[in-house]
């Protein structure tokens, strides 16, 4: 497999997170600049139900302050920077928490981009399945052919299955539970490499599998050999660059 082929099998986990603040528009753009066009990112809703890109409900890790995203209106986010100060210092101070609208407007101009939009469970619990779907799906509509809606929350994905063309389950267990597969009919599965104890070729599942937390070329080769359809990594562009040099 050459680098061009590998680039089609990589998913940038929260964008190019290894070098840039996660779930920011900068991290997504830098992943694409690094040759990775499949992008995964996380969505929470603000108190006024604006979908924004952030993983944790507590802003401490991302913004350096203890505030709950679910309790803040969108216009309050101007006070906070998603610069990940504890990990990256103040190099990216001022980097905003992007809205899903902003990301989709940018993505519409990237014909090669494919999105994996993970809806976080905290927002589903706080606002309910229908409210979250109603907040997110109209925004995603221009990118419907290039977007999978994914989540750990099985009832959410089962509901989304009736309203969105491509959905995926993020698994906490392996192999997937047959009842969940039948209810959700996922087009794709995401699973942490540490959860896969069996060493059977992953194609036996019958659904493409994205294996995540892949951080080295050695592990990338291993999981491609064992049937991973895609590899998700915080270091996706690094893996691609390293592959090119070999």
Instruction: Please report, for the domain that includes residue 213, its CATH number.
Output: 3.20.20.190
Give whole-number Cα distances, 110 to 28, 66, 86, in Å.
11, 35, 31
* pTM to 2 decimal places: 0.97
Is 17 inside any structural domain? yes
Is 232 inside any structural domain? yes
Side-chain-side CA neighbours of 9 within 13 Å: the count stands at 24
Mean residue pLDDT across the chain:
96
Q: Which domain holds residue 165?
A: 3-56+99-245
Is 87 inside any structural domain? no
Distance CA 44, CA 63 (A): 15
Under 8 Å between Cβ of 212 and 233: yes
Is 116 inside any structural domain? yes
230: three-class secondary structure by DSSP: strand
Is 46 inside any structural domain? yes
pLDDT digits 0-9 by tens, 96-121: 999 999 999 999 999 999 999 999 99
Question: Nearest 5°: phi and psi at 17?
Answer: -70, -30
User: What are residue 188's DSSP bridge partners?
Assistant: 168
Give the pLDDT band (50/70/90) at residue 246: low
Measured from the Cβ of residue 194, the count of other Cβ atoms closer than 10 Å reads: 10
Is 37 inside any structural domain? yes
Question: Nearest 5°: phi and psi at 39?
Answer: -125, 130
Is 38 inside any structural domain? yes
pLDDT digits 0-9 by tens, 203-212: 999 999 999 9
- Number of structural domains, the chain? 1
Whole-angstrom Cα Rg for the chain? 17
Is 127 inside any structural domain? yes
pLDDT of residue 244: 72
pLDDT digits 0-9 by tens, 24-80: 999 999 999 999 999 999 999 999 999 999 999 999 999 999 999 999 999 999 999
Scanning the structure block, which residue is given the tokens 């996922």? 186
Residue of 191, 3, 28 lying closest to 96 (CA atoms): 28
Q: Is 57 exposed, middle or buried (0-12, 13-18, 19+ CB in 10 A)?
A: middle
């Amino acid at each position: 497999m050459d680098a061009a082929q590998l680039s089609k099998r990589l998913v940038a986990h929260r964008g190019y997170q290894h070098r840039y603040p996660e779930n920011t528009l900068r991290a997504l753009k830098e992943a694409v600049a690094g040759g990775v066009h499949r992008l995964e990112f996380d969505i929470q809703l603000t108190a006024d139900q604006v979908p924004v890109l952030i993983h944790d409900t507590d802003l401490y890790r991302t913004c350096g302050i203890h505030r709950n995203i679910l309790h803040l209106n969108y216009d309050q986010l101007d006070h906070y920077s998603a610069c990940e100060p504890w990990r990256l210092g103040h190099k990216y101070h001022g980097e905003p928490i992007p809205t899903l609208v902003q990301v989709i407007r940018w993505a519409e101009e990237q014909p090669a981009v494919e999105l994996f939009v993970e809806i976080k469970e905290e927002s589903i619990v706080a606002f309910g399945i229908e409210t979250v779907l109603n907040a997110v799906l109209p925004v995603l509509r221009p990118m419907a052919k290039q977007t999978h809606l994914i989540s750990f929350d099985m009832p959410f994905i089962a509901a989304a299955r009736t309203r969105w063309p491509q959905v995926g389950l993020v698994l906490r267990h392996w192999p997937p539970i047959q009842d969940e597969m039948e209810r959700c009919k996922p087009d794709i599965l995401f699973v942490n490499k540490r959860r896969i104890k069996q060493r059977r070729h992953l194609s036996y599942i019958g659904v493409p599998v994205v294996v995540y937390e892949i951080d080295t070329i050695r592990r990338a080769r291993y999981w491609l050999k064992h049937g991973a359809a895609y590899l998700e990594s915080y270091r996706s562009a690094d893996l691609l660059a390293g592959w090119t040099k070999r």
